[in-house]
Amino acid sequence: MADGEEPMALDVGSSGDWDGRWRHVQKFLERSGPFTHPDFEPSEETLQFLLETCKILVIGAGGLGCELLKNLALSGFRHIHVVDMDTIDVSNLNRQFLFRSKDVGHPKAEVAADFINSRVPGCHVVPHFKKIQEFDESFYRQFHIIVCGLDSIIARRWMNGMLLSLLVYDDGVLDPSSIIPLIDGGTEGFKGNARVILPGMTACIDCTLELYPPQINFPMCTIASMPRLPEHCIEYARILQWPKENTSIPSLLVLMCLPLYGVALDGDNPEHIHWVFQKSLERAAEFNIIGVTYRLTQGVVKRIIPAVASTNAVIAGTVPSRENTALFAYVPLNNYLVFNDVDGLYTYTFEAERKENCSACSQVPQKLQFPPSAKLQEVLEYLTENASLQMKSPAITATLEGKNKTLYLQTVASIEEKTRPNLCKTLKELGLADGQELAVADVTTPQTVLFKLNFTS
Amino acid sequence: MTMADHKTNKDQRYDRQLRLWGDHGQEALENAHVCLVNAAASGTEILKNLVLPGIGAFTIVDGHRVSGEDVGNNFFLSSDSVGKNRAQATTELLQELNTDVSGNFVEENPDRLLDNDPEFFHRFSLVIAVQLEESTCLRLGSVLWNAAVPFLVCRTYGLVGYMRLVVREHTVVESHPDNALEDLRLDQPFPELTNHITSYDLDNMEKKHDFQLPRNYKEKEAFRQLLREGIRKNENGTPEEEENFDEAIKNVNTALNPSKIPTAVEDLFNAEQCENITSQSPAFWVMVRAVRDFVQAEGRGSLPVRGTIPDMIADSDKFISLQNVYRERALQDAAAVSRHVESHLQAVGKVCKNAAFLRVVHCRALVEEYGVDTVHKDEITSCMDNPDSEMVLYLMLRSVDCFYQQHSRYPGVYNYQVEDDIVRLKLCVHSLLQEYGLTVNVKDDYVHEFCRYGAAEPHTVAAFMGGAAAQEAIKLITHQFVPFNNTFIYNAMAQTSATFQL
* Each residue's pLDDT tens digit, B308-348: 898 888 888 889 999 999 999 999 999 999 888 875 444 45
Dump pLDDT digits (tens) for B36-51. 999 999 999 999 999 9
**Residue B26 in contact with residue B72, Cβ under 8 Å?**
no
- Check if B19 contacts A (Cβ < 8 Å): yes
**Of B159-168, B221-230, B460-469, which gets the smallest average pLDDT?**
B221-230
Q: Over 90: is that where the pLDDT of A172 sits?
A: no
> What residues of chain A, 403 to 442, have a C-beta less than 8 Å from chain B?
none
Predicted confidence band at A45 (pLDDT cuts at 50, 70, 90)? confident
B426 in A contact zone (CB under 8 Å): no
| A31·B452 Cβ contact <8 A | yes
> How many residues belong to chain A?
457
Q: Is B22 on the interface with A (CB under 8 A)?
A: no
Pairs from B233-242 (Cβ < 8 Å, separation ≥ 24): B240/B207, B240/B210, B242/B210, B242/B211
Closest chain A CA to residue B74: A74
Nearest to A184 by CA among A354, A337, A71, A311: A337
- Residue A322 — very low, low, confident or very high, per pLDDT cuts 50/70/90? low
Q: Given this model, what pLDDT does residue A262 score?
A: 67
Torsion of CA B303, B308, B311, B313, to 10 degrees: 70
pLDDT at A251: 54
Position with higher pLDDT, A373 vs B217: A373
Q: Are A318 and A194 in contact (CB under 8 A)?
A: yes
pTM over 0.80, yes/no: yes
- At residue B141 the predicted structure's pLDDT band, cuts being 50, 70 and 90, is very high
- Predicted confidence (pLDDT) at residue B429 exceeds the cutoff of 70: yes
Predicted pLDDT at A62: 96
pLDDT at B115: 97
Task: Kindly report the nearest CA distance between residue A109 and chain B, in angstroms.
Answer: 18
- Under DSSP, is residue A386 helix (H, G, I), strand (E, B) or coil? coil
pLDDT at residue B215 is higher than 80: no
C-alpha span between B29 and B229 (Å, rounded): 55
pLDDT value at residue A246? 78
CA gap B458, B488 in Å, rounded: 18
Do the chains contact at A332 and B499, CB–CB below 8 Å?
no
Is B387 an interface residue toward A (CB < 8 Å)?
A: no
- How far is the CA of A237 from the CAs of A221, A227, A274, B243, B428, in angstroms? 14, 12, 11, 25, 69
Query: To probe the interface with B, which of A30, A51, A66, A343 has the most B CB atoms within 10 Å?
Result: A343
Give B 156-195 residues with CB within 8 A of chain A: 158-159, 175-178
Q: Which helix (H) or strand (E) holds B501?
A: none
Please report the pLDDT score of residue A268 as a whole number: 85
CB B403 within 8 A of CB B457: no
A307/B495 Cβ within 8 A: no
Burial of B207 (0-12, 13-18, 19+ CB in 10 A): exposed
In angstroms, the CA A37 to CA B335 distance is: 64
Q: What is the pLDDT of residue A426?
A: 93
* ipTM associated with this complex: 0.86
Q: pLDDT band at A324, cuts 50/70/90?
A: very low
Q: Say whether A20 and B488 touch across the interface (CB within 8 A).
A: no
B486 preceded by a cis bond (ω within 30 of 0): yes
Closest residue to B16, CB basis, from A22, A307, A316: A307
Cβ contact A328:A28 at 8 Å: yes
Q: Which pLDDT tens digit goes with each residue over B229-274?
A: 777 776 677 777 778 888 888 888 777 777 889 999 999 999 999 9
Pairwise CA distance, residues B390 & B388, whole Å: 6
Residue A2: what pLDDT? 39
Decide if pLDDT at B475 tops 70.
yes
> How much is the mean pLDDT over chain B?
90
Query: Touching check for A364 and chain B: CB below 8 Å?
Result: no
Model confidence band, residue A321 (pLDDT cutoffs 50, 70, 90):
low
Residue A75 and residue B459 in contact, taking contact as beta carbons nearer than 8 Å? yes
Residue A81 carries which DSSP code?
Answer: E
Per-residue model confidence as pLDDT tens digits over A384-401: 988 888 899 999 999 888
How much is the pLDDT for A8?
Answer: 46
Q: Is A138 exposed, middle or buried (0-12, 13-18, 19+ CB in 10 A)?
A: exposed
CA pair distance A264, A267, nearest whole angstrom: 9
HSE-CB of B343 using CA atoms within 13 angstroms = 9
DSSP secondary structure, A321-355, as one string: HHSSSSSS----S-SEEEEE-SBS-EEEEE-PPPP
Confidence (pLDDT) at A4: 43
Read off the pLDDT of each residue in A366-383 and give the average, rounded to a whole number: 93
**Overall average pLDDT of the A387-416 stretch:** 90
Is A228 in contact with B319 (Cβ distance < 8 A)?
yes
Q: Is A148 a catalytic residue?
A: no
Q: Regarding predicted confidence, which is higher, A320 or A240?
A: A240
Radius of gyration over every alpha carbon of chain B, rounded to an integer in angstroms: 28
Q: What is the CA radius of gyration of chain A?
A: 25
Average of per-residue pLDDT across B343-366: 75
Query: Which of B98, B147, B138, B127 is closest to B32 using CA atoms?
Result: B127
Contact between residue B285 and residue B272 where contact means Cβ atoms under 8 Å apart: no
